[in-house]
Structure 1
Amino acid sequence: MDTFDLNKLLVGSQGTLGIVTEMKLRLVPEKRCHDLVALFFKSWDELPQVVNAILPQDPESLETFDKDTLKLGIQFMPEIARKAGSSFFSFALKFLPEALISVEMLGLPKLVVLVEVSENTEEEVKDKVRNIVEAIKPFNIWSRIVEKDSEEEKFWVMRRESFNLLRQHVKEKRTAPFIDDFCIPPEKVPEFLPRALKILKDYGIDTNIAGHAGNGNYHIIPLMDLRKESERAKIMVVADKFYDLVVEYKGSITAEHNDGIIRTPYLGKMYSPEVLELFKKTKEIFDPLNIFNPGKKVPASHEATQDKNGGTIEYLEKHIAIE
């Protein structure tokens, strides 16, 4: 007899159908040995082919950040060094190999991809790294093998802290993550991103890009002064155009950050009326009083719900945090 997997339903519902009070988790053992291969690109064009060449080696991750994020890291390096518990000179010295690569490239890379390789023995790791280096030879990219943990950590610190410091240093602006999590078929990324970034540029919104190259999941987090009505008004217009573009490329407007107030009104771009009706019926079966996260994933419509407009554009407009 066929069975229905309630685990997947509850996980996919993202807190809108009930509360998990107990669970059993199976953990994946951590592999003992690891290395990192840093890749430096002059453009996004070869990224899909490079990813496809690397994936047979089963890397742990393919993390990505763009030139603008790298510039932030350089701009805020003294503060990043302090947060890393290091002096500016010793922290900056760690990036000397990358500086030499930039000289060879005649400028900063357009894109950096960090390929993590983990296995249970050093020999297995070294074999995979050699295979990766061999696989990327046909492409116009630069690479560097990073074997020391301290050198690997510098990339993660730089990527993480550059965003945090940007939020602190840009006066009168705050993060507005309304298009922060989308997924595009990896082979379409070089074609998609210029069109996506043009939408933001046309509305005067500056952004940085980071993400996961292996599955085409990227994060764009604009900084905006949401105290201004003119800035808040951009959110709905830009989201509408941006999500239309995502759907045009057969992508998902939500990859790993869930559907909440900001994305629920746009789910009709991805799902048919019939599927949205199934969402509603499922909600009514599990949560007939609309208690759990009302207005998220399914527009709030129950008579007991305080705000009948939950899950709509109108509700979104009223719930943009100004301060």
Structure 2
Amino acid sequence: MSLKDDLQKIIKGEVLNDDQTLTTYSKDASIFEIKPQAVVYPKDCEDIKKLVAFVNQDPHNLSITPRSAGTDMTGAAIGEGIILDVSKYLNKLIEITENSTVVQPGVFYRDFEAETLKKGLLLPTYPASREICTIGGMVASNAGGELELAYGPINKYLKKTKVVLTDGNEYTFEALSQAELNKKIAQKDFEGKIYSEVYNLIKYNRKIIEESRPKVSKNSTGFDLWDVWSKETFDLTKLIIGSQGTLGIITELEFKLVSPKKNQVLLVIFLPDLPELDKVIQKVLEFKPEAFECFDDQTLKLAIDHAWDLTKSFKHSNRLAAYLQFLPEKFQKTLPALTLLASFTSDSLQEAQEKAQMTKQALASFNLKAEIKNTPVAQEKYWIIRHKSFGLLMKYAKNSKASSFIDDIIVKPEYLPEFLPKLNALITPYKDRMVYTLAGHIGDGNFHIIPLMNLADPEVRKIIPELMEKVFRLVFEYKGSMSAEHNDGLIRGPYLPEMYGEKMYQLFKEIKQIFDPKNILNPHKKVDATFQYSLDRIAKS
């Protein structure tokens, strides 16, 4: 009997293994390609539990890779065994209350946000891929975005999660008091074993863990051992966030929500060069913008060259009016090295305007051009350039693929005047073999660089490990992280020992062993990733 037949006997949902399906699921948004053996669409949690039990008993070393929208940029949504796609059936928004929500992992964020906004509520940690990603994927990758500067990471908002673990049972993780933790540890079962071993690992290695904490405002590499035990509460949801399906399979999530501010005013700052960038950033941050974003001159040039195409995305202006907004830049001799977008919000429009005006006045000593945009019509061009330029780059680059490998680096903003020129010097020698732009969350020092490359050329593929090594060493020199929001997966997992040191890396490995002793959940990702396995699976087209 075939694997498909064996699985369909126990699964109420669908099981597919036709060539078209397997080819589709052999890719995500990364540079990798791995063909699975089957794709399972579970109808409910019981299907997932039965699948885990089946894989546990299978003699052929099968594995399970959880997946929803497939927008992961690290290769974490593809695998050689069984792809478990939760987006088809586990996609219900179960409940929205006065300040919280319960949701299944396969719900698309765009649909989720549409419903929460009807109640005047928001989950503020959405990524740039908000239109195409799911809630489960956001948690699994520890995703973040422009509002994280003001609202913090997703682990502040996840209250509770239900997870199927490798023993085939579903458990609920949430913050526990010391008394509740003691009861869990006393249990003589798999759950009790996990609580006991994680507690002891953190207790006896606290010094190593704290010394290894990345010196940046956000980080999605490794497992979040830093925030599990606050001495007041013990919360295993912190480990599930950012675990990329390597520790358990998410079946339900409960978040607290916030009420978004009603008014936004945008301060646009044009930097001709970088020497005083850190001082400009510090000065702007004193006024607490809700978001502080940036894009470089290459991004702006791309937008100007393809302005008519961009006008399709405008909602507050017709296409002709939108196009005319690009004319000043078209006739500008020199474009700014960086354009900074500081967003100030308040329930009072006057207060938001005052914040922007005070910030502009505080920047007067820098002799910078800065403009306040009070209305959605005036702001829209800048947000569209920030959000849509990479899509343009992909559209107009021939025979090239978006290649995510240095796509999510972060260092403290104070280091940027030194760091960015050094980063540019590392990348410049490769410009004849790739095209790239730089944009990101300047308030955090987090940048997204996603080159377009012809991966069919073996010489071009060689650039990936070579440039990664150089860029990551520079990031580590400035005590940064190789990923603020996009996580490890296949692409960055092999660099975890270099980033954290061998002792901390071994603690990460122990966490994986505690939760998944047979390594059936998403192998070859994060702490199980190796250079050779990953490099051998880079797609050639």
Q: TM-score, normalised by structure 1?
A: 0.90
Question: What is the RMSD of the two structures over their aligned residues, measured on CA atoms?
Answer: 1.8
Q: Alignment identity in percent?
A: 41
**Residues of 2 paired with 1:61 and 1:36: CA distance?**
10
What one-letter code is carried by the residue in structure 2 that aligns with 1:185? K
Comparing 179-188 and 84-93, the one that deviates more: 84-93
The 3-state SS of whatever aligns with 1:109 is: coil
Comparing 154-163 and 261-270, the one that deviates more: 154-163
**Residues 1:214 and 2:214 aligned together:** no
The 3-state SS of whatever aligns with 2:364 is: coil
Query: 2:490–2:524: 8 Å Cα contact kept in structure 1?
Result: yes
* Matched positions, count: 308
CA deviation vs aligned residue, 1:281-317 (integer Å, no higher than 9, x gap)? 1111111121222121212xxxxxxxxxxx1111111
What one-letter code is carried by the residue in structure 1 that aligns with 2:324? L
CA shift at 1:66, angstroms? 0.2
The equivalent of 2:152 in structure 1 is: none
Comparing 51-60 and 174-183, the one that deviates more: 51-60
CA shift at 1:56, angstroms? 2.1
Comparing 168-177 and 209-218, the one that deviates more: 168-177
The equivalent of 2:530 in structure 1 is: 312
| Equivalences for residues 140-179 of structure 1 within 5 A | 140-179=367-406
List runs of 5+ in structure 1 lacking aligned partners.
300-310
What one-letter code is carried by the residue in structure 2 that aligns with 1:93? L
CA shift at 1:87, angstroms? 5.8
CA shift at 1:88, angstroms? 5.2
**Residues of 2 paired with 1:253 and 1:48: CA distance?**
20
What one-letter code is carried by the residue in structure 2 that aligns with 1:27? L
| Equivalences for residues 25-44 of structure 1 within 5 A | 25-44=255-274
Comparing 46-55 and 195-204, the one that deviates more: 195-204
1:233 to 434, 456, 462: 462
**Residues 1:245 and 2:245 aligned together:** no
CA shift at 1:112, angstroms? 0.3
What one-letter code is carried by the residue in structure 2 that aligns with 1:130? Q
1:4 to 216, 234, 237: 234
2:298 to 46, 63, 68: 68
CA shift at 1:107, angstroms? 1.9
Runs of 4+ in 1 over 6 A off after TM superposition: none
Q: TM-score, normalised by structure 2?
A: 0.55
Comparing 52-61 and 80-89, the one that deviates more: 80-89
**Residues 1:223 and 2:441 aligned together:** no
**Residues of 2 paired with 1:239 and 1:126: CA distance?**
42
CA shift at 1:13, angstroms? 2.3
Query: 2:290–2:343: 8 Å Cα contact kept in structure 1?
Result: yes
The 3-state SS of whatever aligns with 1:261 is: helix
List runs of 5+ in structure 2 lacking aligned partners.
1-177, 179-230
Query: 1:77–1:88: 8 Å Cα contact kept in structure 2?
Result: no
CA shift at 1:82, angstroms? 3.2
Larger Rg: 2
The 3-state SS of whatever aligns with 2:365 is: coil
Structure 1 residues 197 and 245: alpha-carbon distance in aligned structure 2, compared to 1, 3 A threshold? same
The 3-state SS of whatever aligns with 1:25 is: strand
CA deviation vs aligned residue, 1:119-138 (integer Å, no higher than 9, x gap)? 11122212211211121111
The 3-state SS of whatever aligns with 1:70 is: helix
Query: 2:411–2:478: 8 Å Cα contact kept in structure 1?
Result: yes
Comparing 80-89 and 176-185, the one that deviates more: 80-89
Query: 1:38–1:113: 8 Å Cα contact kept in structure 2?
Result: yes
The equivalent of 1:20 in structure 2 is: 250
**Residues of 2 paired with 1:60 and 1:136: CA distance?**
18
The 3-state SS of whatever aligns with 2:266 is: strand
The 3-state SS of whatever aligns with 1:74 is: helix
The equivalent of 2:505 in structure 1 is: 276
The equivalent of 1:302 in structure 2 is: none
Bigger relative contact order (CA 8 A; separation at least 6)? 1
CA deviation vs aligned residue, 1:188-247 (integer Å, no higher than 9, x gap)? 112111211222222334321001111100010111100010011111111111111110
The equivalent of 2:523 in structure 1 is: 294
**Residues of 2 paired with 1:259 and 1:217: CA distance?**
16
